[in-house]
């Protein structure tokens, strides 16, 4: 058994998901302790160009599984490709993102490999015995559980996106190993015929690292533009959300809704604009890492959960904020 | 001339025998139809509805004989009363004639419908016959000309009305023609027949043809009457039997009580999948329904364009029962795989649209129960099929992990009390009352204000009370109404253990849902407590002089009845009296008030589900508030407070009105 750490890089339609880089970041730290090497597994079709994006984060090798059968995500095909690879390479640790894909894929992979899986983890370390110690929140984040996989290998973990940082990109290049995938698309029990998407290219709220949300205080659909501008100032990973009352007032579509009856999100930064903070909204965003509230009403309950509060007109504050964020980003 | 009339005059006494024969056939036809329905009801599970017979007879008299509920609406109420009493008296009259002809006259050669009694008898029968005729005409006018939205027309309605109309009309014509020929002066007392007789002034020459006309009327009347009697068992006219039965077998449980699934650990199925899972009384309900539609007229879900109508639910179940009867009749295997009711006979959207507000049951003249069926069908969806929306799933998950509906840790449940000088029951030990705060009052910032106001009022009045602090958990009300009986019972039993551990005897709560559950449902698990809603309790403190409201509050207020306080527990006065005790406050009533109050839209778990179909119920209620001109709407329920507050915001009415809990208004008035 090696001491190697592998991560499963995630891509969708030729675009690499950020969680892949987060995985490389923690993977590199883990190899410092285990002494093994770090590798990434990349699956899909026509994805060669993505390897450059994975370069520079400490991976010494990238396994590229390029096949028609892997073009769209398929649980069966991806499982087979990964299981074959793992059986050949015997990594000690296999990491993936606790994304929609990861939550679907990893349980089956772990089943096939008859090993354990710690899902939806927020922290990873190596303990004194050299075992991977995965930290996972349970009971709505009230208790943290440390999970180890003592015997079976690899030690498998799904890591929650946006929890760990993306490290600085270095200059070193990884070795590319093309892996032959022996899957006949006809053998798959389920195939994807068509992908039906909701309108817009908005990234999924649950995967966003920054969410700028508007409430009824926005006043109209058109005025949501200022929030979109702020979100775009933050760049990739930022998106716009809405409170239930904004959705009810038709200021925003339903799939933007954050809250008890919408999406439950936990971005790094949540900016609540003109949202009073009804409990039904708080239930959907209170676990965000940093909460900034902008509201005219100093009594608004949102300030009780906010790390930073601005009592002022959001239409004054948000454009200023957008400008400052752009300036800061320009310095990068 | 003796004042009486000859029975079987002109038609010949021999007709007695064919009448007997026909009568027997009609009785058999009727009995066959009725027994078929009874056998269908008996497919249901047993349920004891034979307790408390005197009260049941009382219910039969007041709701049946005296139309207590039917008369709540004057037009259909009075017209039905006419028809009902008209027919009842005519039936009695016919019975008296039967008694005379077939007993006293036959056995003792004695008639008693004669002399002054005959005059009285003739007058009363004509009067009630006329009332019935007016009733049936006005009812037909309403159904076919006024066409109220809530009535749907089927052939059986038309056939029934025409039959009744013709039976009455031919009866009167029969009488009129007889009087026209025999011309006794005393028949003036048969005032309707007397008038009709003038149409048939018979000369010597035409007596023969008029006599034939009489025979024709007589037979038509008889055949129509028998036809009517036979038709009863095969049409909605069966309600002549089933509605009184339903009034007799009514539930005496508190309106807000939902029955438990008994011995839940050992059940193999939950809720109602097929008709046989209902009790016989629940099946009888479907036959007792007359499709009058009053439920629908009062149903907030229906009125806000949701797919639910209580009438439709009951009728769909009835049709399902009838189609089952057909397959049973064909000797098909009753045990064969049948699709479950929930999702097939009654759609899931219908079932989840119910707010369990009870307005339908409150309006039903024949006391059909609806909420129990909705909950039973939801139980099937939730506990057997796990079919519910993502919002409901989140609710259940939160309840299971944190004992509250939100994603908030249970350890923070008592945070609202941090800055108040308040002790838990565990710390204080000897308390007179437990203040059960409830989930909304504990976690929701808006409702926390209400809790704090209530605490300060209680402290001011020197009440010795304590809270459970972080040990308190949800009362289980909503989980139960959402069909998750398993979760509900866990919550209930856990609370009961807690109450008993601290020796709690008396509970005060500001949430009508907690109140109803403690008061009407905890006894199912041996939890018996004296429970007070805060409005009741504050009113008694005021009466005892322990609270004085010295500061006037200048406002025009209206009071929004919570369903679970009002309709389900009959508390209408205490909140209004409390509002009235605030100086300078004038109280106005909404059109839909007290037992006809309109739900806020949050009951039955609707609080936790998206309302995507139709108009929002809370918006409708806010419009109703607005039409009173009140600047303040007072509530006494955290759900109502939230829903009305949201409604005011969403409709942009913040400058016109505000919603407060009574406790908040009273604290202002201290």
Distance from CA of A216 to the nearest CA of B (A): 8
3-class secondary structure, A210? strand
Q: Answer yes or no: are the C-beta atoms of B136 and B160 closer than 8 Å.
A: no
* pLDDT grade for A195, boundaries at 50, 70 and 90: confident
For residue A201, pLDDT over 70 is answered with no
Q: Which of B668, B634, B667 is nearest to B456 (CA)?
A: B667
- Decide if A253 touches B, using CB distance below 8 A: no
* pLDDT grade for A178, boundaries at 50, 70 and 90: very high
- Please state, in angstroms and rounded to a whole number, the distance separating the CA atoms of residues B555 and B630: 8
Kind and range of the H or E run holding B661 = strand B658-661
For residue A200, pLDDT over 70 is answered with no
pLDDT of residue B334: 52
CB-based contact B444 A279, cutoff 8 Å: yes
Q: Which residues on chain A are in Cβ contact (under 8 Å) with B647?
A: none
pLDDT of residue A320: 95
For residue A197, pLDDT over 70 is answered with no
Which residue stretches of chain B have pLDDT < 50?
none
From chain B, which residues contact A within 8 Å (Cβ)? 391, 394, 398, 401-402, 405-409, 411, 443-446, 608-610, 616, 642, 646, 649-650
- Please state, in angstroms and rounded to a whole number, the distance separating the CA atoms of residues A237 and A232: 9
Q: Which of B253, B357, B276, B245 is nearest to B310 (CA)?
A: B357
Q: Which of A95, A103, A80, A79 is nearest to A36 (CA)?
A: A95
**A41-45, A193-197, B380-384: lowest mean pLDDT where?**
A193-197
Q: Which residues on chain B are in Cβ contact (under 8 Å) with A261?
A: 391, 394, 608-610
Kindly report, residue by residue over B428-450, the tens digit of the pLDDT. 888 999 999 999 999 999 999 99
pLDDT of residue A236: 81
Quote the percentage of chain A above a pLDDT of 90: 63
Q: Answer yes or no: are the C-beta atoms of B566 and B533 closer than 8 Å.
A: no
Kind and range of the H or E run holding A88 = helix A75-89
Residue in chain A nearest B440 by alpha carbon: A279
Residue in chain B nearest A304 by alpha carbon: B445
- Please state, in angstroms and rounded to a whole number, the distance separating the CA atoms of residues A169 and B613: 50
For residue A318, pLDDT over 70 is answered with yes
Distance from CA of A245 to the nearest CA of B (A): 7
Residue in chain A nearest B612 by alpha carbon: A248
| C-alpha B561 chain-centroid distance | 17
Kindly report, residue by residue over A51-60, the tens digit of the pLDDT. 999 999 999 9
For residue A1, pLDDT over 80 is answered with no
pLDDT of residue B6: 86
pLDDT of residue B13: 85
For β-strands A5-9 and A38-44, DSSP reports them as parallel
Residue ranges per structural domain of chain B: 13-246, 264-384, 393-543, 555-669
Q: Which residues on chain A are in Cβ contact (under 8 Å) with B616?
A: 248
Q: Answer yes or no: are the C-beta atoms of A159 and A22 closer than 8 Å.
A: yes
Structural fold of domain B13-246:
Fumarate Reductase Cytochrome B subunit (1.20.950)
β-strand partners of A177: A63
Which of residues 10 through 49 in chain A touch B, CB cutoff 8 A?
none
Q: What is the DSSP string of A168-204?
A: PP-S--PEEEEE-----GGG-SS--------SS-PPP
Distance from CA of A250 to the nearest CA of B (A): 11
Residue in chain A nearest B449 by alpha carbon: A301
Domain B393-543 sits in CATH 3.40.50.1860: yes
How many Cβ atoms sit within 10 Å of the Cβ of residue A170?
Answer: 11
The burial class, CB within 10 Å (0-12 / 13-18 / 19+), for B111 is middle
Q: Which of B258, B299, B365, B359 is nearest to B561 (CA)?
A: B359
**Tokens standing for residue B466:** 């304590």
* Mutation site for A-interface testing, chosen from B392, B403, B404, B610 by largest number of A Cβ within 10 Å: B610
Kind and range of the H or E run holding A134 = strand A132-138
How many Cβ atoms sit within 10 Å of the Cβ of residue A257?
Answer: 24
For residue A171, pLDDT over 70 is answered with yes
Structural fold of domain B555-669:
Rossmann fold (3.40.50)
Of A249, A279, A286, the CB nearest to B445: A279
CB-based contact A140 B398, cutoff 8 Å: yes
- Please state, in angstroms and rounded to a whole number, the distance separating the CA atoms of residues B13 and B346: 56
* Mutation site for A-interface testing, chosen from B406, B470, B647, B659 by largest number of A Cβ within 10 Å: B406
* pLDDT grade for A157, boundaries at 50, 70 and 90: very high
- Please state, in angstroms and rounded to a whole number, the distance separating the CA atoms of residues B564 and B604: 10
pLDDT of residue B153: 95
Kindly report, residue by residue over B327-347, the tens digit of the pLDDT. 765 555 555 557 899 999 999
Walk me through the domains of chain A, giving residue ranges and CATH numbers.
5-187 (3.40.50.620), 205-331 (3.40.50.1220)
| C-alpha A328 chain-centroid distance | 24
**Tokens standing for residue A169:** 């990109």
How many Cβ atoms sit within 10 Å of the Cβ of residue B5?
Answer: 20
Please give the span between the terminal C-alpha atoms of chain B, in angstroms, as a whole number.
Answer: 84
For residue A21, pLDDT over 70 is answered with yes
Q: Answer yes or no: are the C-beta atoms of B616 and B304 closer than 8 Å.
A: yes
For residue A198, pLDDT over 70 is answered with no
**Tokens standing for residue A160:** 């929650």
Q: Which residues on chain A are in Cβ contact (under 8 Å) with B642?
A: 278
How many Cβ atoms sit within 10 Å of the Cβ of residue B11?
Answer: 18
Dihedral over Cα of A20, A22, A25, A31: its sign: negative
- Please state, in angstroms and rounded to a whole number, the distance separating the CA atoms of residues B373 and B276: 13
- Please state, in angstroms and rounded to a whole number, the distance separating the CA atoms of residues A23 and A93: 12
Distance from CA of B335 to the nearest CA of A (A): 36
The CATH class of B264-384 is mainly alpha
Q: What angle is formed at CA A259 by the lines to CA A248 and CA B409, rounded to 5 degrees?
A: 150
CB-based contacts of B163, cutoff 8 Å, min separation 6: B224, B227, B228, B231
Averaged pLDDT, A106-124:
94
Asked whether the domain spanning B555-669 has the same topology as the one spanning B393-543, the reply is: yes
Q: What mean pLDDT, rounded, does chain A reach?
A: 90
Distance from CA of A223 to the nearest CA of B (A): 17
Q: Which of B570, B572, B606 is nearest to B590 (CA)?
A: B572
Averaged pLDDT, A280-304:
91
- Decide if A260 touches B, using CB distance below 8 A: yes
Q: Which of A61, A59, A44, A52 is nearest to A181 (CA)?
A: A44
CB-based contact B394 A141, cutoff 8 Å: no
């Amino acid at each position: 058994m090696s001491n190697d750490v592998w991560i499963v890089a995630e891509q969708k339609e030729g675009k690499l998901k950020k969680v892949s880089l987060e995985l490389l970041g923690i993977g590199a730290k883990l190899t410092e302790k285990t002494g093994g090497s770090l590798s990434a597994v990349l699956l899909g079709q026509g994805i060669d160009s993505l390897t450059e994006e994975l370069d520079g984060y400490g991976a010494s090798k990238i396994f590229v599984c390029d096949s028609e059968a892997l073009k769209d995500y398929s649980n069966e095909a991806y499982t087979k490709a990964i299981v074959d690879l793992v059986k050949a390479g015997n990594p000690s640790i296999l990491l993936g993102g606790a994304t929609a894909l990861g939550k679907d894929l990893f349980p089956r992979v772990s089943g096939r490999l008859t090993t354990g899986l710690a899902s939806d983890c927020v922290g990873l370390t190596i303990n004194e015995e050299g075992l991977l110690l995965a930290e996972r929140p349970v009971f709505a984040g009230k208790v943290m559980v440390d999970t180890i996989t003592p015997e079976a290998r690899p030690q498998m973990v799904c890591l929650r996106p946006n929890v760990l940082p993306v490290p600085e990109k270095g200059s070193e290049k990884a070795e590319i190993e093309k892996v032959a995938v022996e899957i006949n698309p006809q053998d798959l029990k389920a195939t994807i015929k068509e992908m039906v998407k909701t309108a817009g290219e908005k990234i999924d709220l649950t995967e966003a690292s920054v969410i700028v949300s508007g409430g009824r205080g926005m006043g109209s659909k058109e005025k949501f533009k200022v929030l979109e501008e702020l979100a775009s100032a933050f760049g990739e990973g930022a998106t716009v959300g809405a409170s239930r009352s904004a959705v009810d007032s038709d200021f925003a579509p339903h799939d933007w809704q954050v809250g008890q009856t919408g999406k439950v999100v936990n971005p790094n930064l949540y900016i609540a604009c003109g949202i009073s903070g009804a409990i039904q909204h708080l239930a959907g965003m209170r676990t965000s890492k940093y909460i900034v509230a902008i509201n005219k009403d100093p009594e608004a309950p949102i300030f009780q959960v906010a790390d930073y509060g601005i009592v002022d007109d959001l239409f004054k504050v948000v454009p200023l904020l957008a400008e400052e964020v752009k300036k800061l980003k320009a310095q990068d | 001339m003796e004042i009486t009339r000859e029975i079987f005059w002109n038609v010949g006494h021999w007709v007695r025998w064919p009448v007997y024969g026909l009568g027997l056939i009609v009785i058999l036809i009727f009995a066959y139809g009725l027994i078929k329905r009874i056998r269908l009801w008996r497919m249901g599970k047993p349920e004891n509805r034979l307790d408390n017979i005197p009260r049941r007879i009382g219910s039969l008299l007041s709701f049946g004989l005296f139309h207590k509920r039917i008369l709540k609406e004057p037009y259909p109420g009075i017209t039905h009363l006419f028809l009902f009493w008209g027919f009842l008296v005519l039936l009695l009259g016919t019975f008296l004639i039967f008694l005379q002809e077939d007993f006293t006259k036959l056995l003792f050669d004695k008639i008693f419908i004669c002399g002054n009694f005959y005059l009285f008898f003739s007058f009363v029968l004509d009067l009630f016959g006329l009332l019935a005729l007016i009733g049936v005409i006005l009812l037909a006018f309403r159904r076919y000309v006024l066409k109220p939205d809530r009535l749907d027309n089927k052939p059986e309605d038309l056939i029934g009305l025409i039959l009744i109309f013709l039976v009455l009309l031919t009866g009167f014509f029969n009488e009129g023609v007889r009087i026209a020929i025999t011309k006794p002066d005393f028949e003036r007392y048969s005032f309707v027949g007397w008038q009709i007789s003038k149409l048939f002034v018979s000369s010597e020459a035409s007596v023969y043809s008029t006599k034939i006309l009489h025979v024709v009327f007589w037979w038509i009347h008889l055949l129509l009457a028998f036809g009517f009697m036979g038709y009863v068992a095969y049409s909605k006219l069966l309600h002549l039997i089933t509605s009184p039965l339903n009034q007799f077998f009514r539930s005496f449980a508190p309106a807000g009580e939902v029955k438990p699934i008994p011995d839940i650990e050992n059940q193999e199925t939950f809720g109602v999948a097929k008709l046989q899972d209902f009790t016989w009384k629940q099946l009888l309900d479907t036959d007792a329904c007359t499709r009058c539609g009053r439920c629908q007229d009062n149903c907030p879900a229906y009125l806000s364009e949701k797919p639910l109508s209580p009438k439709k639910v009951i009728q769909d179940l009835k049709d399902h029962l009838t189609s089952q009867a057909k397959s049973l009749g064909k000797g098909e295997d009753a045990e064969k795989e049948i699709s479950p009711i929930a999702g097939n006979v009654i759609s899931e959207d219908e079932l989840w649209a119910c707010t369990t507000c009870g307005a339908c049951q409150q309006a039903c003249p024949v006391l059909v129960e609806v909420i129990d069926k909705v909950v039973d069908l939801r139980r099937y969806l939730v506990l057997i099929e796990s079919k519910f929306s993502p919002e409901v799933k989140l609710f259940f998950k939160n309840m299971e992990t944190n004992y509250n509906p939100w994603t908030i840790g249970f350890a923070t449940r008592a945070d609202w009390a941090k800055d108040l000088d308040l002790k838990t029951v565990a710390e204080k030990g000897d308390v007179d009352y437990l203040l059960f705060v409830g989930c909304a009052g504990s976690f929701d910032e808006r409702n926390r204000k209400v809790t704090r106001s209530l605490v300060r009022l209680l402290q001011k009045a020197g009440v010795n009370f304590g809270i459970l602090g972080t040990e308190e958990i949800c009362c289980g009300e909503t989980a139960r109404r959402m069909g998750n009986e398993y979760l509900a019972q866990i919550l209930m039993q856990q609370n009961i253990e807690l109450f008993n551990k601290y020796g709690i005897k008396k509970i005060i709560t500001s949430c009508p849902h907690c109140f109803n559950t403690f008061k009407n449902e905890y006894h199912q698990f041996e939890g018996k407590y004296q429970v007070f809603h805060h409005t009741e309790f504050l009113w008694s403190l005021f009466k005892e002089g322990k609270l004085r409201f010295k500061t006037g509050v200048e406002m025009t207020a209206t009071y929004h009845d919570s369903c679970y306080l009002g309709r389900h527990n009959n508390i209408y006065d205490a909140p209004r009296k409390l509002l009235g005790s605030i100086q300078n406050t004038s109280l106005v009533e909404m059109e839909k008030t007290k037992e006809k109050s309109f739900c806020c839209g949050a009951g039955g778990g609707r609080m936790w589900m998206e309302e995507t179909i139709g108009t929002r119920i809370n918006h409708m209620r806010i419009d109703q508030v607005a039409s009173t001109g009140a600047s303040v709407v007072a509530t006494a329920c955290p759900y109502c407070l939230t829903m009305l507050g949201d409604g005011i915001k969403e409709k942009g009415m913040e400058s016109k009105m505000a919603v407060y809990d009574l406790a908040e208004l009273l604290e202002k008035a201290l």
